[in-house]
Structure 1
Amino acid sequence: MRVAFLALMGLQLAASPGAGEETGSYVVTGDAIMQPLVGGKGDPARGGALISDRQRSLCTLCHSGPFPDAHLHGTLAPDLTGVGARLSGGQIRLRVVDMKRLAPNTIMPSYYRVADEQGRRVATAWRSKPILSGADIEDIVAYLASLKG
């Protein structure tokens, strides 16, 4: 059952690349990426909407938290309620960009690494593209960092 779920999740991810964007460079310092992936701060409202979007980010397939449709939240990953009080924006950013740097065996996809670098066979239209854009990730970081309670 879990293998089927992960296979379905992989197919879903392959269908939603980061708006045709190439990945930019970033610097990992300890357990964080301190600098935003794109200029300026993200928009927490867009980040909240993106987290709840089960077609693009898929966050709620595994995570629960203060998001709409609680009955659809997953239980495979930590609850994100209060994550902004536990982690800095830079720590959240690294976890979304590439959680595999911190936990190599995680089932969480690397949202800002290109799919074909992750050892997956990827359709030509989506090769060398991340799952989410840098702006999408900054919006998610802004939203999650705002979850203090």
Structure 2
Amino acid sequence: MKYRIGLGLAAILAATAASAEAVKPTQVVFEDGAISASLSGMPGDAANGAALMNKGSGNCIACHSVSALSDLPFHGEVGPPLDGAGDRWSEADLRGIVADAKMMFDGTVMPSFYKTSGFTRLGDAYTGKAHGEDEVQPLLTAQEIEDVVAFLVTLKDE
């Protein structure tokens, strides 16, 4: 009986994952800079979000300090500290900020992590040539955005 229930639950989870389709970067709907719905259709993984804060295309701590990640070296001071981010902004606000902070904060230097168009002469690595518009990939995937947001909402003032 337990085996059948486990198989049934696995089938439901697989069907849910298969039906969840990521919102394409060009189809994201911002409302006053916020994005109310999940970009991936799946919940974020806060542990993976914390890992993305320090590596790869995320590397948030290059510009922000985060006390919860005090074991990591070289926190930046370009952006505001992220301590208390989960109290200052809603999940929708955080999703919008991570996806494209320029939609909420005009003039910010924070990169757009889920954007693939509208750039001014986006270079193709070190070739000296411009990217074609259809070749650009976002810095973070829809699920990685959800993961980072899941971590950020845990950062509460104590």
Partner of 2:103: 101
* TM-score normalised over the length of structure 1: 0.76
> What runs of 5+ residues in structure 1 fail to find an aligned partner?
1-21
1:42 & 1:62 partners in 2: Cα distance?
A: 22
* Cα pair 1:47 1:139 within 8 Å, conserved: yes
1:88: Cα distance to partner?
0.6
Aligned length: 127
Partner of 1:127: 135
1:142 & 1:120 partners in 2: Cα distance?
A: 33
* Cα pair 1:64 1:70 within 8 Å, conserved: no
1:69: Cα distance to partner?
4.2
Amino acid at match of 2:153: A
Amino acid at match of 2:152: L
Greater RCO between the two (CA within 8 Å, min separation 6)?
A: 1
* Cα pair 2:50 2:151 within 8 Å, conserved: yes
Partner of 1:147: 155
* Cα pair 1:26 1:35 within 8 Å, conserved: no
Specify the structure having the higher radius of gyration (Cα): 2
> What runs of 5+ residues in structure 2 fail to find an aligned partner?
1-23, 125-130
RMSD over aligned CA atoms reads: 2.2
Output aligned runs, 1:54-93, within 5 Å.
55-65=56-66, 66-93=68-95
Output aligned runs, 1:27-66, within 5 Å.
27-53=29-55, 55-65=56-66, 66=68
1:31: Cα distance to partner?
3.3
* Cα pair 1:61 1:72 within 8 Å, conserved: yes
* TM-score normalised over the length of structure 2: 0.72
1:120 & 1:138 partners in 2: Cα distance?
A: 28
1:141 & 1:76 partners in 2: Cα distance?
A: 20
* Cα pair 2:30 2:103 within 8 Å, conserved: no
1:56: Cα distance to partner?
2.1
* Cα pair 1:52 1:60 within 8 Å, conserved: yes
1:71: Cα distance to partner?
4.0
